[in-house]
C-alpha cells in the first residue's frame, strides 16, 4: 500500500492554528477575570463599606439613585389603593390539576383605568400559601397555554417570525409560546405561576410615550431621567405584588420575579427596586440586563438605545459608544437585590447576550452578598456548558442551545428556588 507523508507546511500551519487558539483562549480567560468595573464597596465620599448596615444606609441608596437617574428613569409613586376584580376562578383548570385565577387590576380615579390582567395558576391539593413565579410575557396571557378560558388580550401583540407584525390576538394564537411556560412542571413541583402581558403596561415600540400607562404621567417624560418602558414594565410587576399581598393562597414572601430577554431586564430592575420580591431570575437578559456594559460585547449601548430607544431613559443614550464613562455597571444593579437570592442564566448559542458578561455581573456583585454572610459566586469560575452552579444566594448556568427560555432552564430555577426556600 502506498504510504503518504504529511505535508510539512500543512503540519506547521496546523500547529500554528492550535497555538493561536490556545493563546486566544488564555487571553479570553484573562480578559474574563481582569475587566475593570466600579468598586461596589467604596462610597462616593470614599468610605469603605464594611458591613451590611453600611451598605443599606449609605452605598445602596447611592447606587439605586444613580442607576435610576442615568439608566431606567424615574417612575410614579405606588398608587394609594388599587382595585382588584377577580373575573375568573376555576378549581378544575388544566384537567383538574390547577386553580386558575384571572384578576383585572385597575388604577383608581374619576374613571378607573384598566391597568392589566393578571393570570395565576396554583397547584391543587397542596397546603397554601404557595410560592409563585411572576413574569412578563411577550404575546398576551392567552399565549402561555392552550387553556381556552384565558381572556384574550384587547391590546395589539407582536406576531410572525421575530415579531415582525402587530395585530390583535385571536384564538389561533392561544398557546403560541407555551414551551416557554411549562406550567405542568411548575405546578408539579409545588409552585404557582403568575404572568401579565407587557403590552398591557406599555407597547414595545417607540411611540413617544403616548400610549400605555405613560399617557397617564406626561410630566415624567419632559426630563432626561424620563419614565421609560423598562421602568413601566417593572412598575407593573410591583402592582402584581400589591395584589399578592391580598391573596391568602399566595406566599407573598416567596415571589420570584422572572424574565427572559428584554423581560429579564425588566425583572432585574423590578427586583432591584422593590424589596418585596423574594427572588430574581434573569434568563439571557444581556445588555441592559445582567451583562456588563463595559465589555462592549453583544448588545452594546449604541445597539440598545438606537434600536429600542423607549426601553431606557434619555440619559442612558448619552453613553452610546462611551461605556467607559459610565459611573456604574450592571453588577451594581444586581447588587441591589442582595441579600435576596438571584439566578442568572445564559445560553451557549446566544453571544448577543454575552454569557461571560452575565456571569461576571453575578461574580462581581457577590462582594455585597458576602457582607450578609452569603457565599454567592465570588470564588466560582465560569462553569462548563449544562453544568449549573448553585451557591448560597446565587445560581448560574450556561446551557447548550440558542436564545430562548426552555424546560431545562425552568428545571434549574425550580431546583434553586426549592433549595433556597425549603
How many other CB atoms are there within 10 angstroms of residue 323's CB atom? 17
Q: 35: burial class by Cβ within 10 Å (0-12, 13-18, 19+)?
A: middle
144 contacts 177 by C-beta, under 8 angstroms: yes
Candidates 390, 383, 323, 391; CA nearest to 358 is 383
Annotated catalytic, 403?
yes
Q: 69: burial class by Cβ within 10 Å (0-12, 13-18, 19+)?
A: middle
List, as one string, the DSSP characters of 75-133.
-PPPPS--EEEEEEEEEEHHHHTEEEEEEEEEE-SSS-EEEEEEEEEEESSSPSSEEEE
Distances (CA, A) of 258 to 99, 174, 278, 282, 393: 21, 21, 11, 6, 16
The catalytic residue among 52, 178, 317, 403 is: 403
DSSP state of 55: I
Q: 7: burial class by Cβ within 10 Å (0-12, 13-18, 19+)?
A: exposed
List, as one string, the DSSP characters of 262-306.
HHHHHHHHHHHH-TT-SEEEEES--TTTTS-GGG--SS-HHHHHH
416 contacts 344 by C-beta, under 8 angstroms: no
- What's the rounded Cα separation, in Å, for the pair 305 and 311? 7
- What's the rounded Cα separation, in Å, for the pair 99 and 50? 47
How many other CB atoms are there within 10 angstroms of residue 418's CB atom? 13
3-state secondary structure of 69: helix
The catalytic residue among 143, 261, 346, 367 is: 261
Cα dihedral 317, 318, 323, 326 sign? negative
Annotated catalytic, 261?
yes
Candidates 76, 75, 67; CA nearest to 315 is 67
Active site (catalytic) residues:
261, 403
Amino acid at each position: 500500500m502506498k504510504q503518504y507523508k504529511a505535508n510539512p507546511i500543512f503540519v506547521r500551519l496546523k500547529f500554528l492554528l492550535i497555538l493561536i487558539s490556545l493563546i486566544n483562549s488564555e487571553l479570553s480567560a484573562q480578559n474574563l477575570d481582569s475587566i475593570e468595573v466600579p468598586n461596589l464597596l467604596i462610597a462616593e465620599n470614599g468610605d469603605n463599606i464594611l458591613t451590611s448596615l453600611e451598605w443599606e444606609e449609605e452605598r445602596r441608596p447611592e447606587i439605586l439613585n444613580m442607576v435610576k437617574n442615568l439608566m431606567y428613569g424615574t417612575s410614579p409613586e405606588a398608587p394609594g389603593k388599587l382595585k382588584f376584580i377577580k373575573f375568573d376562578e376555576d378549581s378544575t383548570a388544566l384537567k383538574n390539576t390547577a386553580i386558575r385565577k384571572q384578576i383585572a387590576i385597575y388604577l383608581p380615579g374619576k374613571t378607573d383605568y384598566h391597568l392589566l390582567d393578571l393570570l395565576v395558576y396554583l397547584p391543587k391539593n397542596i397546603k397554601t400559601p404557595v410560592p409563585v413565579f411572576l413574569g412578563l410575557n411577550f404575546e398576551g396571557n392567552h399565549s402561555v397555554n392552550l387553556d381556552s378560558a384565558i381572556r384574550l388580550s384587547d391590546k395589539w401583540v407582536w406576531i410572525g417570525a421575530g415579531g415582525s407584525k402587530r395585530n390583535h390576538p385571536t384564538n389561533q394564537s392561544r398557546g403560541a409560546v407555551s414551551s416557554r411556560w411549562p406550567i405542568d412542571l411548575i405546578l408539579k413541583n409545588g409552585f404557582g405561576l403568575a404572568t401579565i402581558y407587557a403590552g398591557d403596561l406599555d407597547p414595545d415600540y417607540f411611540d413617544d410615550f403616548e400610549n400605555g400607562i405613560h399617557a397617564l404621567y406626561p410630566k415624567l417624560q419632559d426630563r432626561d431621567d424620563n419614565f421609560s418602558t423598562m421602568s413601566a414594565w417593572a412598575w407593573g410587576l410591583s402592582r402584581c405584588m400589591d395584589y399578592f399581598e391580598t391573596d391568602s393562597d399566595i406566599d407573598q414572601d416567596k415571589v420570584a420575579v422572572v424574565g427572559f430577554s428584554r423581560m429579564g431586564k425588566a425583572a432585574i430592575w423590578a427586583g432591584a427596586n422593590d424589596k418585596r420580591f423574594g427572588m430574581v431570575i434573569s434568563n439571557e437578559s444581556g445588555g441592559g440586563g445582567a451583562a456588563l456594559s463595559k465589555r462592549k460585547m453583544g448588545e452594546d449601548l449604541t445597539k440598545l438605545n438606537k434600536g429600542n430607544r423607549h426601553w431606557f431613559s434619555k440619559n442612558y443614550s448619552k453613553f452610546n459608544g462611551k461605556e467607559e464613562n459610565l459611573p456604574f455597571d450592571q453588577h451594581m444593579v444586581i447588587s441591589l437585590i442582595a441579600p435576596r437570592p438571584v439566578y442568572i442564566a445564559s445560553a451557549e448559542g446566544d453571544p448577543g447576550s454575552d454569557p461571560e458578561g452575565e456571569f461576571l455581573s453575578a461574580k462581581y456583585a457577590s462582594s455585597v452578598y458576602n457582607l450578609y454572610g452569603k457565599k454567592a459566586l465570588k470564588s466560582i469560575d465560569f462553569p462548563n456548558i449544562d453544568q449549573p452552579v448553585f451557591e448560597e444566594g446565587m445560581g448560574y448556568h450556561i446551557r447548550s442551545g440558542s436564545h430562548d427560555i426552555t424546560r431545562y432552564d425552568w428545571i434549574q430555577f425550580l431546583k434553586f428556588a426549592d433549595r433556597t426556600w425549603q
